[in-house]
Structure 1
Amino acid sequence: MKKRCSFIFLLFCCCCSWVQAQELNTRVQVMAPTVPNINKKNLEVLQNTIREFLNNNKWSNEPYAPAERIECNFVITVTAWDGSSAYKAEAQIQSSRPVYNTAYNSTLLNISDKDFDFNYNEGQSLDFSDQNFISNLSSLLSFYAYTIIGLDKDSFSKLGGTHFYNKAQNILNVAQVSGNKGWKAFDGLRNRYWLNENLQNKSFEELRQFIYDYHFNGLDRMQEDQSKSAKKIISLLTTLKQMDKQKLGSIFPNMYLATKADELVNVISTLPDPQDKLKAYNLLSEVDPANLNKYEALRASR
């Protein structure tokens, strides 16, 4: 009887662990290749602290199985150090989601943040609050955690990430009191403020809906019928023509389409009909002229 009770208790603990699994599975690299005499040990401690902060915090009330955790990468390059606790840095942040029934992960976010500045003392813990500003580093990490989850949600349900973009906006609003760059509209045209603004702007709802249809009704169906799915993706591109052409250079469409350009070419190149490739080329050259050089491969392969 005791053995049976112990087994039931162990099973209960495992179930609780499954329900409370965190959302992110983050790899973190902190480096300073051009900063002389920087404390390398401190960078290692910082790297571990950031990874634990992102991976161990629970960012939602939703259950996640370990296999459902979102794959992401933070590469933080320190460009200057004051010899104490102040760091100037840039960050490259990526996230992806699996394509159904394949070993392939499709990139959702690939963004460079040039204003990833923060203060950190060796051994300092990172605390999280979405109501109060604690530190710029915790605000930066929290903002991107919510944004990553939002984009992941958008890829599985129509406009599914709205709640998490609202959470990221709350972090942004609270962090504006810090005076650090990247949180305000006038800090630049391609910063955290405008990324969050674009993600919630109705002008870009067609792009958010495209993210869902492209992944859930396109890529996730590739194993069932590759040709049919590729043609479906071409038809989805027509919806992007509804976006305001004046807004195509904004950070969200610019970032997302640049992330997807190579993947789109690879998928559409599988179609045998040259006319399908030409149709895709014409559509992509209209909605994403910034990456026209990549789409030339579709016209050349006819």
Structure 2
Amino acid sequence: MKYLLLVFFALSTIINAQELNCKVRVNVESLETYYRDFLNDFASSVEDYMNKTKFYNGEWEGNRIECSMDIFFTSASNEVNYAAQVVITSQREIYKSPNYTRMLTVSDNNWTFRYEEGQSFYQNETSFDPLTSFLDFYANVLIGFDLDSYAELAGSPYFTKALNIVNFAVTGGASSSWLNTTSSYSRRKLVQELLDERYRPVREGFYDYFYGIDYYSISKKEAQRLIVKFIDRVYAAKDKLDVRSVLMKTFFDTKFGEIIEKLKGYQDAEGILIKLKKIDPAHAAKFDEAIKL
């Protein structure tokens, strides 16, 4: 039944040339007025690049991945050198539902790059460019997460491509934002963990989790069983994982509210929420609130 449902879901969608439907918004309020005019076309240029560039290796089947990039410029050292903070989000359709489930929310606070007003954006997978390689990195991460939700480990080729971009950045002398940093988020660490065997149970569990989300309107009981199966997998692996794991933080920052909502009425909700407190201590207070309900 599981595989039949997924095949039907795939056949019910359309085939598109590219993979992303990315909405880009730019905020330049932190910049001096002089520099703002140089960025008038930046949002549309990034949006065109994300939506018209081919990132997937084959022919993309299904609707485009709904995603967004909110770019907050923080400084400009001259007319062409900029720094920005970026919030990247993505979501996908829930089977037989008008609703979507959030796939990813990332706050990347350290993007530095060179941009000349009116310049063209070109993809180059064999060299590093601080502007387009950043966009390529997140395009591949978004595609990888989307594919992982439909089949176990299906996103691996795209996480590998993202890691290759990181390696190009490191060997090319890119800024420290491409390294493993002491901050709570690191591009490099995110994709390293996604490809690390220690995190394999987590990624394999993504499939169960999102199948549970897809199946929720059909059978709440079965959907909850699948979500709990994912939680149990992660709980069993937790002692092998980095306590400051970027992947775990990224996933649970995105999904903790949905998990609480979907487990309402589950027969052993308290026991599962106690496990979640140990897996995701950052949201322990929210899990405690849910236990009391």
Structure 2 length normalisation: TM-score? 0.89
Say whether the 8 Å CA contact 1:38–1:81 is kept in structure 2: no
Structure 1 residue 260: deviation in Å?
Answer: 0.6
Out of 178, 189, 197, the residue aligned to residue 192 of structure 2 is 197
Structure 1 residue 157: deviation in Å?
Answer: 0.4
Out of 18, 21, 25, the residue aligned to residue 25 of structure 1 is 21
Which consecutive residues of structure 2, in runs of 5 or more, have no partner in the other structure? 1-13
Change beyond 3 A, Cα 1:45–1:178: farther
- In the TM superposition, what whole-angstrom CA distance separates every residue of 1:145-192 from its partner, at most 9, and x where no partner exists? 001101111111001111001111111111221422222235756211
Paired with 2:73 and 2:151, the residues of 1 have a C-alpha distance of 37
Matched, 1:253 2:248: yes
Paired with 1:236 and 1:138, the residues of 2 have a C-alpha distance of 35
Q: Which secondary structure state, in structure 2, belongs to the residue aligned with residue 247 of structure 1?
A: coil
Report the equivalent of 2:50: 54
Which consecutive residues of structure 1, in runs of 5 or more, have no partner in the other structure? 1-17
The count of aligned residue pairs is: 278
Report the equivalent of 2:208: 213
Say whether the 8 Å CA contact 1:90–1:112 is kept in structure 2: yes
Paired with 2:30 and 2:140, the residues of 1 have a C-alpha distance of 31
Structure 1 residue 297: deviation in Å?
Answer: 2.8
Alignment of 1:136-147 (within 5 A): 136-147=130-141
Alignment of 1:121-136 (within 5 A): 121-133=116-128, 135-136=129-130
Report the equivalent of 1:161: 155
Q: Larger % of helix: which?
A: 1
Deviation beyond 4 Å, 4+ runs, structure 1: 186-189
Give aligned-pair identity as a percent: 27
Paired with 2:39 and 2:262, the residues of 1 have a C-alpha distance of 40
Q: CA RMSD in A?
A: 1.8
Structure 1 length normalisation: TM-score? 0.87
Q: Which has the larger radius of gyration?
A: 1
Report the equivalent of 1:276: 268
Q: Which secondary structure state, in structure 2, belongs to the residue aligned with residue 156 of structure 1?
A: coil
Change beyond 3 A, Cα 1:179–1:187: farther
Q: Which secondary structure state, in structure 1, belongs to the residue aligned with residue 79 of structure 2?
A: coil
Structure 1 residue 55: deviation in Å?
Answer: 0.4
Report the equivalent of 2:178: 183
Say whether the 8 Å CA contact 1:181–1:187 is kept in structure 2: no
Structure 1 residue 64: deviation in Å?
Answer: 2.6
Report the equivalent of 2:31: 35
Say whether the 8 Å CA contact 1:29–1:74 is kept in structure 2: yes
